[in-house]
Structure 1
Amino acid sequence: MTTSTTSESSAVTHLLDLQALVVSVRRRRRLWCSLALLGLLLGAALAVLRPPAPAAVTKVLVAHKEDQPNDTGTLIRTDVELLGTTRIAAKALQSLKSAEPPEDFMKDYRGTGLTNNLLQIDVTGDTDAEAVARAKALADAFVADHVRRMRAAAGAETKALSDQADRMRDELAQVNEAIGDRSPESEPKASASIESLFARRAELNSRIADFDQRAEEARMGTPRIVAGTQIVDAPRAVKHSLPKAAATNAAIGLVLGLVLGLAVAAVGTVVADRPVLRREIAGNLGASVIAELPRTPRWSARLWQRRRIRAARARLTASLARTVRGSAEPVSLLELGCARSTSVIALDLARALAAEGPVVVIDDLPGLQRAHRGQKPGGPDVVGVERAAAVPHEVRRLGVGSVAPGTAWTGLPDLGTQTVLVVRAGHAGAAWLHTVARQLADLLIPVIGVVLIDPDPRDRTDGTLWDGLHTALRGHNERLARENVTGRLRTERPSWAVRVPDSDQEAR
């Protein structure tokens, strides 16, 4: 139950590990940089190959009867929608004497409300002159339609107010006729009814005066609206700058390509599940990271990079030499995603061990013998795995092979009964790292450590396992038990592992 809970927790942590995600995305910078560059080039090319159509712009000041200081732009939005109607388009085409359908013409222009009373009209055409003519026709058609609507609204309002005032006058005439020459003093008995007639007459006079005033205001407001609605910016052609358009499109393409590249890299990282950090690789392989080495560049590197790589190779060779010298059994180097770097490491290690005695490199890695051809004479011998059985037991053996997909697992014990894994960060998925650890454990080949190739320079995680004996090294424990049963001493070392001086041999 505890083991299951631990596995589930580690899996959840892995899915939510933002550090690993950032590192993996950064390592795939070639992808998103390439997409960003592609977007930049496509944006610039689009500006050159598809330049914008000739366009013209004009601005119209629109006056409304219902203008209020706190208007949120509802009136100008209404004007924008009215501009995009077939009635306005048809009137503009009529003034242009064009037979183009209004529906098609409406696709070539648009209105934009800049403020509560300022409308901008953008029009495109085949030429600058045509675009300017279209803009003027549209502006004139809109102004004429707006003025007509305002006049019609004011006329309807004035007529309604005048009709209401006329009805009041008719009623007032009836009241005056009912009053006649009577007064409350002349007819004391009917004083109440006479007073109500006088009150009604006063109310009717007031309302008639109010309606007359409102009708006059409606008539007086129309000229103000008509005069206020006008073209304030004459139609003019819009000048397009090709360098500016190319730069703008290139910037937009760069941003879109970069965003797309980062998204693809992030999704690919999550889907592929390829560990990059030291702690992830060590945890999946069940072995500690004992050394690191920058990936050997395929092309010529800069001077300081070559010096740094040579210094790192020298430190790695010395560390592996100490590990191999202290081993009583043959050791192999098994690569995963870094065959070229493993070949270089194997030859450097073999040369370092050759100073202490004969060393034979058992090659099961394509390209190792080709790399050995360029070495100086007197170096270690490199033989194929088919000749491994002919190598004398007193000669130190160093196997070199691969644990990439398609590996013949049963042939790995011929390379060495212990191994150092040389793994390139971010190359293999977590599932395959588990497979490698399980197969090596089943073959009773303990993993001494992991050499990490091309690590992330900003990785600060710990690649040391403090409780790793129960994972990939479980085969080592099983082999200890089996060898103890057969009676072999674990302290016994092969003859090539201990160099006895000649004087001691004669004494014996």
Structure 2
Amino acid sequence: MTTSTTSESSASAPLLDLQSLVVAVRRRRRLWFSMALLGLLAGAAMAVLLPPPPTAVTKVLVAHQEDQPNDPGTLIRTDAALLQTTQIADQALRSLKSPEKPEDFMGEYAGVGLTNNLLQITVTGDSDTHAVARAKALADAFVADHVRRIREAANAEAKALLDQRDRLQGELAQVNKAIGDGAPQSGPKASADLESLFARRAELTSRISDFGQRAAEARIGTPQLIAGTQIVDAPRAVPHSLPRTAATDAAIGLVLGLVLGLAVAAVGAVVADRPVLRREIAANLGASVVAELPRRSGRLGRRRRIRAARERLTTSLARTVRSSAEPVSLLELGCARSTSVIALDLARALAAEGPVVVVDGLPGPQLARHRPKPGDPSVVGGDRAAAVPHEERRLGVGSVAPGTAWTDLQYLGTRTVLVVRAGHGSVAWLHTVARQLADQRIAVIGVVLIDPDPRDRTDGTLWDGLHTALRGHSERPARQNGTGRHRTERLPMRAARVPDSDQEAR
């Protein structure tokens, strides 16, 4: 015998069911399709309404004194950062004789290092000619500033080396003077002092020659660096293709809109917590799914399948109504139109055996404005239900949507079939429906699912207890007898039991 209960299953269920989330997002494909289309149109419109400004580009080869083969690009990034300074922007504007502020001009150009020694400068302008002129002036200003800094660095290094050489030459002069003054002296001590002075003079002479050579080398390398820093790609206007730009922006907008739509659909599905799968709807209502009907009709072949499914459903419901000694009702949740069609089909099928009256308890005009055809059953309002003769069969049609008068549902029928649209009611409201029907002692025969997910392969039959499964509406297991076998007791039809979690929610 199965010992698990619905409350235990609910307690052990994961906080986020990926299958339900995927199904819920797929059912909201109209949303993310619309968002993707909106992004596509917005991207194309931006390309047409907000075209990019005229742009010019140039490339500058930058030589560095500290160039190393393993440089990770630090030097060229420094050059790109120096390009974004008011000093270079001001020099470029002066050459253009433009009254524009350097701070404003800095926002209209950018530099990026392509390699360790190649800098690309991109400038915008009012026209292609203006953009090319600005790019030329900016590149010249950068090259001039870079050359100036190279010369200043070389001159500063050479001056430091020459200053050091001059200091050593002064010290050498003092040593030479000391050697000249100590020549007439004799003795071991005088010889040792004179020898140390000659050694010092030789050391100073060598160092002076070294500093002079290094100062000359510092100036010798400067022309190579200056010649190596030059404009290698003359400024030119960047061609602008409106179709290509529109296609690119539209593709970007399409992707962004699709991602945003999927995110909104996923968040909405999680927040709304509206069951879509058969097993979830059956578990929350405490009744099994006995039939399904698509909400929309498509191609001719699908229309035939829908018509065949409606005929099978009508036959099954007619058989259930005939075998029931109590009045049966159809209660809808999110699908009043489909429920009214099912009710009329069922009433026509029952009219062949005797008069049938459809009691309209729907809040909308689906049945009230129905134009009867020859042979159709009569439709009366809920206020005239008591005047229906007992020899006529009654078929109640009502709603369990928010705002329902629960105490009036029992007048439509003490046994009911719930017609529920998948993904319409939240978990809390499905629990409320199950609890209210149980309080009114209205037995739920089964659930007809409208607009189910075509890829849903879950089982909508409740198998965790005979009191909820269709096979156990009229029997339940009793305690074991003396032989160790289970004996079965016949019980009258009753409403589905509500899980313990629902009692707590009350």
- With normalisation by structure 1, the TM-score equals 0.86
Q: Does 1:408 align with 2:405?
A: yes
Tell me how far apart the structure 1 counterparts of residues 110 and 232 of structure 2 sit (CA, whole Å): 18
SS at match of 1:15: coil
Change (3 A) 1:368 1:92: closer
Equivalent residue number for residue 330 of structure 1: 327
1:471: Cα distance to partner?
A: 7.8
Q: Is the 8 A contact 2:182 2:190 kept in 1?
A: no
CA separation of 1:171 and 1:9: change in aligned 2, threshold 3 A: farther
**DSSP-derived class of the 1:373 partner:** coil
1:71 aligns to what? 71
Q: Does the CA-based 8 Å contact 1:285-1:472 persist in structure 2? A: no
Query: How far apart are the structure 1 equivalents of 2:120 and 2:209?
Result: 42
Q: State the distance in 2 between where 1:393 and 1:41 align.
A: 63
SS in 2 for 1:59: strand
Match of 1:179 in 2: 179
Residues 334 and 420 of structure 1 are in contact (CA less than 8 Å); yes or no, is this contact kept in structure 2?
yes
Q: How does 1:26-425 map to 2 (within 5 A)?
A: 26-180=26-180, 188-297=188-297, 301-365=298-362, 366-369=364-367, 372-373=370-371, 375=373, 377-425=374-422
Q: 1:78 to 1:491 in 2, by over 3 A?
A: closer
Q: What are the superposed Cα offsets for residues 383-436 of structure 1, whole Å, 9 maximum, x if unpaired?
A: 332332233333332211111111121211111110000000011111111111
Q: Match of 2:66, SS?
A: coil
Distance 1:381 1:66, change over 3 A: same
Structure 1 unaligned blocks of 5 or more = 478-488, 493-508
Q: Return the offset for 1:264.
A: 1.4
Whole-angstrom CA distance in 1 between matches of 2:165 and 2:159: 10
> TM-score by structure 2 length?
0.87
Aligned to 1:499: none
Deviation at 1:12?
7.4
Distance in 1 (alpha carbons) for counterparts of 2:12 and 2:176: 95
C-alpha displacement of 1:25: 1.1
Q: Which one-letter code corresponds to 1:36 in the other structure?
A: A
CA contact (8 A) 1:335 1:401 kept: yes
Q: Residue 280 of structure 1: CA displacement?
A: 1.2
**CA positional deviation for 1:154:** 0.2
Q: Percent identity?
A: 79
Residue matched to 1:10: 10
One-letter code aligned to 2:18 = L
For 1:470 and 1:188, how far apart are their aligned partners in 2? Answer: 126
Unaligned runs of 5+ in 2: 475-489, 494-506
Structure 1 counterpart SS, 2:287: coil
Secondary structure of the residue that 1:46 maps to in structure 2? Answer: helix
2:435 aligned with 1:445, yes or no?
Answer: no
Q: Do the aligned partners of residues 449 and 174 (structure 1) sit closer, same or farther apart at CA in structure 2, a change above 3 Å counting?
A: same
User: Match for 1:251: what amino acid?
Assistant: A
Cα offset for 1:132?
0.7
Structure 1 distance, partners of 2:492, 2:392, is 19
Alignment partners' CA distance in 2, 1:490 and 1:168: 119
Distance 1:191 1:313 in 2: 129
Q: CA deviation at 1:370?
A: 5.9
Query: In structure 1, the residue corresponding to 2:420 is in which secondary structure?
Result: strand
